[in-house]
A and B are shown apart, each in its own frame.
Chain A
């Protein structure tokens, strides 16, 4: 079939509240060590109170790790670290001749610095340090990462709210299938900001304790920050460079719930259609999926809606499912990228991750998520990402005979 050339994941990179590298994150998942702690980094009334998934590095420490002379926006530094790790992990040589690109997502962009600028500007419109707003736009984050990694020939930025980086991976895979690029680094990054913390607070969907996705008594989400990227390559690159494939991108879909600006339809019609179309594209039946990494934010609305859709599609063939947001918090524009990396970990290390703090199932759907780290045979992993504006995306990553 046309447009169905294989797209391989050759590498992945991640930074989150449970670890600054791929290995650290995997170790935390194995040991069920979550990263939800009281906020420390922002000058906010919620500091030292609100539980969040914060990356355990200051701006200066991030800049040093990223080999920058001085800090840029936190979003860009997180993204640069994870994208660089993904490239290194892929084994792709730096000066290879391939047509390379970066497709990156962010919802806040340089907001972590804009919100420092803005109060000064409000007080006096000629005041505020312009260096703090110069990277406000989402595209500026992508540009910074691309410039430092030599990916600036083609780059794109997607912002579909919380599903953004799943859409970046889907778009990257399509660019390769269409023969427009050979290598795409795809994923997303978001830093914690007062803007998003207060936004979700005003919507009254933040839990003031560590979140409990898919639990009957869930009270909301914890915000998090971080970045996750995968390196997607064509067959040709894989073979000629002798890279070791980590997984195959075997299916994906992007749909819209068209129900409400911020709430999901009760039956999860958008998420159902995204999962169904993804299975169809991968030519798989529900019972062939070995693990679902749920969107599972911990809000009353998302988990019931997503759970209803999952239950309807998988019925009594439900594989192990879990939301890893109990570990990392909801990292918004980074979550699809971070959870894609977790999905690839599940394939590489043949394991599934626990859904922390689960006690009792949501009565309407009676789904018991995976409760412990467990080694088991993993062939196909489905990763769900949904967002404001009814945005629903699903991706299936598969183990291939080549996967090592």
Chain B
């Protein structure tokens, strides 16, 4: 299976506006959450459209349009979206109004836009794209499921261009409720120091990233996705076995993985488990991290995919990402995301340019 990344659009808590690289001066957040730096949406959406859209829909549609422009594709053949919690702001608004107004005289707009497929549907509506439209809503695996669906579609028809994205928003209510499960750090010294100060808990994040994927490389493909796999386990030894099986299945030796981009979250216990796997399987790979840049959220692996594709295209690992460097050209990056210890996801990413040894 293969999908060439032909274009990327991203809205994240960093100044990733042009989508081309990670800025030299990343943004540090003093709280235990990171918030997307929203672009000037008027480049893509008119005031009438903007007025009707919630924040997550604006982030999603604008990143989708950015990705298409980046790939010079006018209209994709399919739109596939992964979102763990969907349109939380509108869901919260409608729940609040039901309670406040005792189920009387409710405004339907937040309800209409609360369904998870609002983002993908609005993209289809803006582009008048009447092809396949799918939304996966399976917690931390939503984006991976969208990728797997894409890989299957491209195997069926390699010439197609599929617009595939991962989007989740953090709202005040979602943060307040998630915080009560003790998921986040109480005292954050600043999100960029997430990995310098071992502690319990992580920091919350959010983001939107869409990718134009095709079975054909075209002239400017950034990287190639070869495989995706998810599994659930709380045990490091099971995780290790599953990772080894995944590599074997894809005919890859662990030493062929030039960089492993891990979903370490700053949570000490969780990160120790990942460390154990790195020590036993990936002794000869460079190691990168990304959640101090985007925070923890269901579709955070879409941020990692953007980062990994940039690294392969530019053949450089941003200093802020690097935890260990084996100093060799990058042909293969393995994204190993872990969401709150139980949810593990692997995305195999390869260079589609010749690299110097």
On A, residues with C-beta under 8 Å from B are 2-3, 44-46, 107, 109, 114-115, 118-119, 121-122, 125-126, 130, 133-134, 136-140, 142-143, 152-153, 155-161, 167, 171, 174-175, 178, 180, 194-195, 198-199, 201-204, 254-262, 269-270, 273, 387-391
Contacts and interface: CB of A to CB of B under 8 A. Distances in A.
Contacts of B84: 137, 139
Given A159-B116, A198-B111, A390-B124, A122 B99 contact: yes
A167 B134 CA distance: 8
Nearest to B229: A154
A275 to B, nearest CB: 14
Given A195-B98, A198-B98, A260-B125, A388 B135 contact: no
A289 B127 CA distance: 33
B139 A140 contact: yes
B121 A389 contact: yes
25 contacts: A3-B155, A44-B103, A137-B139, A138-B138, A139-B138, A143-B139, A155-B138, A157-B138, A159-B116, A160-B116, A171-B149, A195-B98, A199-B94, A199-B111, A202-B108, A258-B129, A258-B130, A261-B112, A261-B118, A261-B121, A388-B117, A389-B118, A389-B120, A389-B122, A391-B117
Where chain A touches its partner, the secondary structure class is mixed
B86 interface: yes
Contact of A161 (B103, B117, B132, B148): B117
Contacts of A140: 139
B107 A202 contact: yes
A139 B142 contact: yes
B113 A261 contact: yes
B40 interface: no
Contacts of A270: 130
B116 A115 contact: no
A142 B99 contact: no
A161 B86 CA distance: 12
Contacts of A175: 152
B137 A159 contact: yes
Contact of B130 (A2, A261, A273): A273
A195 B117 contact: no
A257 B131 CA distance: 9
A149 to B, nearest CB: 15
A46 B104 CA distance: 10
B132 A390 contact: no
Q: Which of B102, B106, B112 has the most CB of A within 10 A?
A: B112
B136 A158 contact: yes
A171 B137 CA distance: 14
Nearest to A262: B112
B125 to A, nearest CB: 5
- Ranked 4 nearest A-B pairs via Cβ: A389-B121, A199-B111, A139-B138, A139-B139
Given A118-B99, A201-B106, A203-B111, A390 B134 contact: no
Interface of B: 79, 84-86, 91, 94-96, 98-100, 102-104, 106-108, 111-118, 120-122, 124-125, 127-139, 141-142, 145, 148-149, 152, 155-156, 173, 176-177, 180-181, 231-232, 298
Nearest to B107: A202
Given A256-B131, A261-B113, A137 B121 contact: no
Contact of A119 (B99, B116, B122): B99
Nearest to B113: A261
Nearest to A109: B137
A1 to B, nearest CB: 10
Contact of A159 (B108, B117, B177): B117
Contacts of A203: 108, 111-112
A254 B116 CA distance: 17
Given A121-B173, A157-B138, A390-B124, 4 more contacts: A199-B112, A254-B134, A255-B133, A256-B79
Given A115-B95, A156-B145, A389 B138 contact: no
B95 A118 contact: yes
A274 to B, nearest CB: 10
Contacts of A204: 108
B332 to A, nearest CB: 22
B116 A387 contact: no
Contacts of A45: 102-104
A388 B180 contact: no
Nearest to B84: A137
B121 A390 contact: yes
A258 B142 contact: no
A137 B87 CA distance: 11
Contacts of A125: 176
A315 to B, nearest CB: 22
Nearest to A389: B121
Nearest to A257: B130
B152 to A, nearest CB: 5
A195 B95 contact: yes
